[in-house]
Structure 1
Amino acid sequence: MNRYVCIHGHFYQPPRENPWLEAVELQDAAYPYHDWNERITEECYAPNMAARILNAEKKIIDMVNNYTKISFDFGPTLLSWLERFKPEVYQAILLADREGQSKFSGHGPAIAQIYNHIIMPLANFRDKRTQIIWGIKDFKYRFKRLPEGMWLPETAVDLETLVILAEKGIKFAILAPHQAKRIKRIGENAWQGVNNGEIDTTMPYLCKLPSGKTIHIFFYNKPISQDIAFGGLLSNGEMFAKELLNAFKETKRAQLVHVATDGETYGHHHRFGDMALAYCLYYIESNNLAQITIYGEYLEKYPPTHEVEITEFSSWSCAHGVERWRNNCGCNTGIHPGWTQAWRAPLRRAMDWLRDALIKVYQAQISLYVKDPWQIRDDYIEVILDRSRQNIENFFSLHLIKEITKQEKIKVLKLLEMQRQAMLMYTSCGWFFDEISGIETVQIMRHASRAMQLAKEISGRDFEHNYLKILEEAPSNNPRFKNGAQVYEILVKPAIVDLLRAGVHYSLSSLFEAYPETTKIYCYTAKKQIYHSLEAGKQKLGVGKVKITSEITWEEDIITFAVLYLGNHYLNGKAKPDIKKEEFLNMYQEIKNAFIKSDISEIIHIMDRYFGPTNYSLWHLFKDQQRQILNKILESTFQEIEFSFRQIYERYYPIMQLMKDIETALPKSLCSVVEFIIYTDIKRILESKEMELDKLQRLVEEAKKWSLKLDKTTLSFVASNKINTLMERFSQRPQDILLLENIEKLLQILSDLALELNLWKAQNIYFSIGKQLCIKMQDKAKQGDEMASKWFSHFNTIGSYLKVKCV
């Protein structure tokens, strides 16, 4: 067969970690999930590891790991997050590459990606080199092999980037057809211009580079790729397959029809896109219509016959080359007509100015300790991947030119972190969207802020003033902000963390959480030195010392604190670097005596005298703990509200029933009360470990009777978790008939609420158990085994609700 199909998915999320905490904080816009990484994982990355194949009745008849059948790249920063927080998805991706090698003649479907998605043509040479090296080393660390290809962010390309790729052993890259400039048959002299993108995309091309090396280029099929991303092609897997097959030409030579889109297209941007992808591949393979392949395998089988020259400073998502990431070129999301992107150029100038200023600090300072300033930066990825003390000590031994002190090691780590942040601040998403106050742009400003903080700690120089002067030239479309400098002051500066701020967080939260002797607070370790606490009713007092250590830079300090909670949201804290033992004892004794006497004003006076005027409150907690503690504080308030609403509900239920009987609409005030009580009770049952199904049934009937508008987003989330949890329990006790009955009844009850349930995990478990037990139980039932017959009946009914067919 000479017809080949390759589908490439570019899977990527921008680094969302707070640069000071190295963790993704709560993002309300991703509700009901904690953050966007978690939400997109549930909608895309996880479903693609077990994508469904449906029969004509829309029942699941098979599940496949899409990653084993497509070409894909995953952003290193995204894989790092998946490794920590979604290990089962992470392992499925790695396993897919190993399984894919047996399918694709020893070539793995995974290719590498530029480390943190910077626009390569706009980067300086050293950053290009480090980004490529980090991307390759990260890939090798995870996939245990060297990559054959590498994805260029936004497919933005220039010759210098391709030269470095080739020098580092990368065999191919993927570009859009309009990025080809001219082509010719290898060995011939006559070039043919293809500036308008009319290049034959069914073959690979050889690109000769100024260095004397070569690299191969695949130009994806643009019309089909755009229809996948922005059209309706993913509404039907068979239609998707036929569109790919129709792209083959009438010729005897081998052809490769291949497409490239964001991987998030398959499930996040288009719901059930993962299923359309799975069925597309199934349809092609099962009907033997073409051979599914990946780029490395195809290149080995069919080396290029033509040579290509590329259009430099071009990309797949900007009609003006790479201007979207440095100018007001007119490219935008289309969501905000009339908005200007004139902020992009000043933002780029600010980042370039800062980068160059930081280079001077870096070279001057790190040259005192290491052989090669840029080699150690290239190798720093080995520390990022493993921050254990022993690994870092080994890293130092390879690069340091002399024995150095602990403080000097801290300085070296800060210098390397400064450079990491200086590259993270170039992540492409910061320029892609429409407004400088958007979360993506604020994120890269935070990386810049962290880099400046480290530079100041190292050199004593403050770069923030000049950086902000440039940002003053960047206009905002949001009336809340005049320019980029105001965005920085309001949205970036409050997020800055140092050892003192980490100590403040520890001290404030210690009143609500009993910390062990040593605890992790994101990328900090907090070790309790002294801690005294007193309580009187709702009032709480905490006085102590804590040693805060950064696991990133090794810097540490002892923070002394005193915190006072007066009930509700009234929390007052004081903290400063360590004070002498005698002074601490005097301070504690004075505060203790005042607290025993309930002399609040005296306590605050003593705290001011010992710590100074700066106060810390709930506002200074890190976001996740801030929300948790607020919920704890408000718990009694919520209970009071519920008690009041429940009294109204019970007292006026008879008259509400009368109004229902005589077909009179409930007043909105009473309707709100009913909705609150019914919703609260349903949610509580679904979150409970108990199985109060009869009560749940009555509540659902009440909801239907009153035609209530319940919060279906939240109820769908908690109901999905309930069913998935029960199915996990069933997987451990697969012959538990009572549990089967309860799961069946729960699914039947919930079907009346018309929730949008995410039963992906439950379906996976059901399918796995079905493969093992279903036929066995069915055979026993046919032989007259009553228990088996009962089991099979319940199991089969659950399959109907889950839309899975096992027999």
Structure 2
Amino acid sequence: MEKFICIHGHFYQPPRENPWLEEVEFQDSASPYHDWNERITAECYAPNTCARMLDGEGRIQKIVNNYSKISFNFGPTLLAWMKEKEPDVHDAIVAADQLSQQNFSGHGSALAQVYNHMILPLGNRRDKYTQVLWGIEDFQHRFGRKPEGMWLAETAADTETLEVLAEQGIKFTILSPYQASRAREIGARNWRDVDGARIDPTRAYLIKLPSRRSISVFFYDGPISQGVAFERLLTSGEKFATRLLGAFSDRANRDQLVNIATDGETYGHHHKHGEMALAYALQFIENNKFARLTNYAEFLETHPPTHEVQIHEKSAWSCSHGVGRWMADCGCNSGGRAGWNQGWRAPLREALDWLRDQITPLFEAKGAELLKNPWGARDAYVQVILDRHHANVDKFLTEQANHELNETEKVQVLKLMELQRHAMLMYTSCGWFFDEISGIETVQVIQYAAQVIQLAQEVFHEDLEPTFTGLLAKAKSNIPDHQDGACIYTKFVKPAMIEWNKVVAHYAVSSIFRPYSANPKIFMRSFEQEHREDFSVGKAKLAIGRTKVTHEVTHESAHLSYAVIYLGEHNLAGGVQPAQAQEDYELLKKELEEAFQRADFPEVIRRIDHHFHGSNYSLKSLFKDEQKKVLYQILSSTREDLENRYRLITERYAPLMHFLTDLRADLPLALQTAADFILQIDITRGFSAEDVDLEKLRKLCAEGKARDVNVFDEDLCYTIKNRLENMMRDFAANPENMSLLRTMEGLTDIVRTAPLDLNLWRVQNLYYEMLQLAVPKFRAAATQGDVISKDWMNLFLSLGDHLAFEVNPLEA
């Protein structure tokens, strides 16, 4: 009997992009990171590409890529974000799949996933097909091979879903043991009831489908998966490994597979350092030959199913009521407040289903005018999503059109495709998973629906919004102020909707505070400056211009004119409208310039209001990220004034504060606040300075540690982390820079003794790479007596010591 172990991680985050910007905007709750994708990447996705293996004293011995030894899937929408924002992590995940093929007999460990995490049993067959097809195409685009297995969102399955998987060549999927209904040996007559997770999860099973196709399934070990996710099993890698090994049965006279499946975020995000426990468990099992690591595809090839199984229709892994969590108030929730209910789930789904069904005949009719096969074009559109370069878009249009399209028709086709893309995105499962309809995940899916409504108005000239919001009104919020889905649509969705004027207003307002190139690209819109004039009087600024804007997704264009006046601080007014006739534009310029040069700013504002017919834009018109930057710039003088006042207080009462500290007496709150504020500013500046004063910084950090004050917060840690990462990148590019090495050695010596919770995985990764690449050269020169190389080695080894590396072997 041979023992096999397979650990599967389902790595996924819902798409968070603003549907009109195609960008993830700043999320306060993820601070100090920009957004939750970035934060979870830093805490989980990236660390698993470079998990630390420690010695008995907690020093780093080596760094390994966990993905190459486990089974995993990543959401396509998450990987699309990662490819743009964290390309190194994206590429390391792809590389791990290639390495896993060497580890597992040519079978890669990556599985595909249905495209945007739609609960397929609740979708129609057409959406099921496209979700699977897009998932496969995205996988092939990234990993360079066809997927053998596919992860179903929430493992939600029914017969039709499995038929679609099998039809498209998927060999297997992974399900919860609670989804199994009955099983039997292939060829046997009688079925055995395995309801209630009584299925044996140590083998593969076959599901025979009505179409005469079949698909294999693996049922993960429920108790161990539960232990990993919720019972702190990852506090010890050896404990984790022992629990896995304990699942083998000595009574079974056959090869066995112990396999578990959890959210991948368990390893590092939900459980800090979970990736290290995973890495240790894998090494512990392999080195001691307790079992053989494998992935599902390799095991399936050598151990084809000997038993068949039937599953509960419309069942999933995180709902004991089938798929009720995504359609009803079934009782499943995430532990929300007492008295809350999820009665909003059913009317939300009914509203979205109504919207989908309303646009279907409209799409088919309009699509038939332009396309050979509208639904076939939707399936093929994934190739455009993966590559939006104009040549690829033109190729798609040429292949799908039923005649040579003019420019207007091309825009219509692309809008039809985007309408269908958002009609699927609005079914992303997270919209129903949590407790309250006003939560960010549910607002996100309603925003996708609003984009569908907007596109339908533009393409079909049908206003679907009134009926849709009427249906949403039946979805009652648990929060009285939010009332219902219609109120939430008005409060949180409508303000996010973007039209041409709002995009140009953002461009015009932000251009007052930052220079743009002649033809900038902002949020999937390209701007072609047709005319612009800037004026200034003292601190006041005036900008007047005309621009052509082109949507990079739909290729639609518009010409607009704008005028913005800025009077300092937060005082700004502007107007935007479709470009007027040249003589009207010249009159606008003349009147605004004359009034501005006279410093008659109220008249400028009145003229803007007159020419732009009451169109009124301000700093509130900026999208979140730019607004945050501009406000930071505006508040610079305020911050400087506050700092001067707090510094004066701190310096004036310094003797008193020292005296009180010596007596171990509490400082008055006002003095404590002022002193902490100044200390944190000084420490932050010390770490950020171009020429770091190590001794001064060391004293400041020592003071903060001795006073045990709250200055070493997340924001400071984030600043230090970024500075060290940038320095390490520069050093890796130029290892001969002794000054930089000396500064890094000093900084890391300071941070290792300060009460800082730093995520230095990037810094440690670069150091680890230099151990292999740069050290041999300098060690050889040092051995032959080169003094500079010897100094370099001593500093580099000391840096490694501060970064928690086991460096003694290098000294030998």
Which amino acid in 2 is paired with 1:196?
G
Q: Which residue of 2 aligns with 1:288?
A: 289
Alpha-carbon distance in structure 2 between the residues aligned to 1:742 and 1:562: 49
Cα distance, 1:654 vs structure 2? 3.2
Q: Which residue of 1 aligns with 2:4?
A: 4
Q: Is the CA contact 1:499–1:549 (under 8 Å) kept in the aligned structure 2?
A: no
Alpha-carbon distance in structure 1 between the residues aligned to 2:376 and 2:498: 29
Alpha-carbon distance in structure 2 between the residues aligned to 1:739 and 1:23: 36
Which region of structure 1 is more displaced relative to structure 2, 599-608 or 796-805?
796-805
Q: Is the CA contact 1:206–1:214 (under 8 Å) kept in the aligned structure 2?
A: yes
Alpha-carbon distance in structure 2 between the residues aligned to 1:92 and 1:613: 52
1:623-772 map, 5 Å: 623-772=624-773
Cα distance, 1:787 vs structure 2? 4.6
Cα distance, 1:661 vs structure 2? 4.4
Which region of structure 1 is more displaced relative to structure 2, 243-252 or 777-786?
777-786
Q: Is the CA contact 2:577–2:615 (under 8 Å) kept in the aligned structure 1?
A: no
Alpha-carbon distance in structure 2 between the residues aligned to 1:435 and 1:164: 32
Q: Which residue of 2 aligns with 1:448?
A: 449
Q: Does 1:156 align with 2:166?
A: no
* TM-score where L is the length of structure 1: 0.98
Distance 1:3 1:673, change over 3 A: same
Q: Which residue of 2 aligns with 1:35?
A: 35
Q: Which residue of 2 aligns with 1:259?
A: 260
Which amino acid in 1 is paired with 2:73?
D
Which region of structure 1 is more displaced relative to structure 2, 713-722 or 292-301?
713-722
Q: Which residue of 1 aligns with 2:582?
A: 581
Residues 430-487 of structure 1, C-alpha deviations (whole Å, 9 max, x = no match): 0000000000000001000011000001111111111111111111112321111111
Cα distance, 1:196 vs structure 2? 1.5
Q: Is the CA contact 1:313–1:322 (under 8 Å) kept in the aligned structure 2?
A: yes
Alpha-carbon distance in structure 2 between the residues aligned to 1:293 and 1:146: 19
Q: Does 1:360 align with 2:358?
A: no
Which region of structure 1 is more displaced relative to structure 2, 603-612 or 126-135?
603-612
Q: Which residue of 1 aligns with 2:471?
A: 470
Which amino acid in 1 is paired with 2:137?
K
Q: Is the CA contact 1:220–1:260 (under 8 Å) kept in the aligned structure 2?
A: yes
Which region of structure 1 is more displaced relative to structure 2, 621-630 or 477-486?
477-486
What RMSD in Å do the two structures reach over aligned CA positions?
A: 1.6
Cα distance, 1:774 vs structure 2? 5.0
Alpha-carbon distance in structure 1 between the residues aligned to 2:126 and 2:378: 10
Cα distance, 1:386 vs structure 2? 0.9
Alpha-carbon distance in structure 1 between the residues aligned to 2:168 and 2:73: 18
1:96-107 map, 5 Å: 96-107=96-107
Alpha-carbon distance in structure 1 between the residues aligned to 2:787 and 2:614: 77
Cα distance, 1:593 vs structure 2? 0.5
Residues 591-636 of structure 1, C-alpha deviations (whole Å, 9 max, x = no match): 1100111112211221122111131111111110011111111111
Which amino acid in 2 is paired with 1:45?
Y
Structure 2 residue matching 1:480: 3-state secondary structure: helix
Residues 223-248 of structure 1, C-alpha deviations (whole Å, 9 max, x = no match): 00111111111111111111111111
Q: Does 1:572 align with 2:573?
A: yes
Q: Which residue of 2 aligns with 1:497?
A: 498
Structure 1: state its 5+ residue gaps: none
Q: Which residue of 2 aligns with 1:129?
A: 129
Q: Which residue of 2 aligns with 1:16?
A: 16
Q: Which residue of 2 aligns with 1:113?
A: 113
Which region of structure 1 is more displaced relative to structure 2, 760-769 or 544-553?
760-769
Q: Is the CA contact 2:712–2:755 (under 8 Å) kept in the aligned structure 1?
A: no
Alpha-carbon distance in structure 2 between the residues aligned to 1:225 and 1:37: 24
Cα distance, 1:717 vs structure 2? 1.1
Q: Does 1:803 align with 2:804?
A: yes
Which region of structure 1 is more displaced relative to structure 2, 668-677 or 688-697?
688-697
Q: Does 1:507 align with 2:501?
A: no
Which amino acid in 1 is paired with 2:134?
W
* TM-score where L is the length of structure 2: 0.97
Distance 1:2 1:473, change over 3 A: same
Which region of structure 1 is more displaced relative to structure 2, 504-513 or 788-797?
788-797
Alpha-carbon distance in structure 1 between the residues aligned to 2:398 and 2:177: 47
Alpha-carbon distance in structure 2 between the residues aligned to 1:482 and 1:738: 61
Alpha-carbon distance in structure 1 between the residues aligned to 2:209 and 2:706: 73
Distance 1:127 1:532, change over 3 A: same
Which amino acid in 1 is paired with 2:489?
Y
Alpha-carbon distance in structure 2 between the residues aligned to 1:663 and 1:11: 50
Which amino acid in 2 is paired with 1:464?
E
Which region of structure 1 is more displaced relative to structure 2, 777-786 or 25-34?
777-786
Alpha-carbon distance in structure 2 between the residues aligned to 1:158 and 1:707: 57
Q: Does 1:350 align with 2:339?
A: no
Structure 1 residue matching 2:480: 3-state secondary structure: coil
Which amino acid in 2 is paired with 1:406?
E
Cα distance, 1:714 vs structure 2? 1.1
Q: Which residue of 2 aligns with 1:202?
A: 202
Residues 760-786 of structure 1, C-alpha deviations (whole Å, 9 max, x = no match): 112112222223455776677677665
Alpha-carbon distance in structure 2 between the residues aligned to 1:685 and 1:88: 29
Structure 1 residue matching 2:200: 3-state secondary structure: coil
Q: Is the CA contact 2:712–2:756 (under 8 Å) kept in the aligned structure 1?
A: no
Alpha-carbon distance in structure 1 between the residues aligned to 2:439 and 2:144: 37
Q: Which residue of 2 aligns with 1:435?
A: 436
Structure 2 residue matching 1:475: 3-state secondary structure: coil
Cα distance, 1:744 vs structure 2? 2.4
Structure 2 residue matching 1:368: 3-state secondary structure: helix
Which region of structure 1 is more displaced relative to structure 2, 783-792 or 247-256?
783-792
Residues 341-398 of structure 1, C-alpha deviations (whole Å, 9 max, x = no match): 1111110111101110111221111110111111011111011111111111111111
Q: Is the CA contact 2:184–2:190 (under 8 Å) kept in the aligned structure 1?
A: yes
Distance 1:671 1:19, change over 3 A: same
Q: Which residue of 2 aligns with 1:487?
A: 488
Alpha-carbon distance in structure 2 between the residues aligned to 1:708 and 1:558: 56
Which region of structure 1 is more displaced relative to structure 2, 679-688 or 306-315?
679-688
Q: Does 1:532 align with 2:533?
A: yes
Which amino acid in 2 is paired with 1:173?
T
Cα distance, 1:519 vs structure 2? 0.4
Q: Which residue of 2 aligns with 1:237?
A: 237
Which amino acid in 2 is paired with 1:38?
E
Structure 2 residue matching 1:361: 3-state secondary structure: helix
Q: Which residue of 2 aligns with 1:172?
A: 172
Alpha-carbon distance in structure 1 between the residues aligned to 2:264 and 2:238: 19
Structure 2: state its 5+ residue gaps: none
Q: Does 1:553 align with 2:554?
A: yes
Q: Which residue of 1 aligns with 2:426?
A: 425
Alpha-carbon distance in structure 1 between the residues aligned to 2:649 and 2:335: 48
Q: Does 1:220 align with 2:201?
A: no
Q: Is the CA contact 1:6–1:294 (under 8 Å) kept in the aligned structure 2?
A: yes
Q: Is the CA contact 2:702–2:754 (under 8 Å) kept in the aligned structure 1?
A: no
Alpha-carbon distance in structure 2 between the residues aligned to 1:707 and 1:136: 54
Alpha-carbon distance in structure 1 between the residues aligned to 2:108 and 2:512: 52
Q: Which residue of 2 aligns with 1:275?
A: 276
Between the two proteins, the alignment pairs up a number of residues equal to: 807
Alpha-carbon distance in structure 2 between the residues aligned to 1:262 and 1:418: 30
Residues 99-131 of structure 1, C-alpha deviations (whole Å, 9 max, x = no match): 111211111111100000000000011100110
Distance 1:294 1:575, change over 3 A: same
Structure 1 residue matching 2:369: 3-state secondary structure: coil
Q: Which residue of 2 aligns with 1:516?
A: 517
Which amino acid in 2 is paired with 1:650?
E
Q: Which residue of 1 aligns with 2:189?
A: 189
Which amino acid in 2 is paired with 1:381?
V
Q: Is the CA contact 2:184–2:309 (under 8 Å) kept in the aligned structure 1?
A: yes
Which amino acid in 1 is paired with 2:658?
Q
Q: Which residue of 1 aligns with 2:144?
A: 144
Residues 259-317 of structure 1, C-alpha deviations (whole Å, 9 max, x = no match): 01111111111111111111111011111111111111111101110011111100000
Cα distance, 1:743 vs structure 2? 2.1
Cα distance, 1:727 vs structure 2? 2.4
Q: Which residue of 1 aligns with 2:81?
A: 81
Structure 2 residue matching 1:546: 3-state secondary structure: strand
Q: Is the CA contact 1:149–1:172 (under 8 Å) kept in the aligned structure 2?
A: yes
Alpha-carbon distance in structure 2 between the residues aligned to 1:658 and 1:28: 39
Which amino acid in 1 is paired with 2:45?
Y
Cα distance, 1:705 vs structure 2? 4.8
Distance 1:772 1:410, change over 3 A: closer
Alpha-carbon distance in structure 2 between the residues aligned to 1:607 and 1:395: 43
Cα distance, 1:666 vs structure 2? 2.2
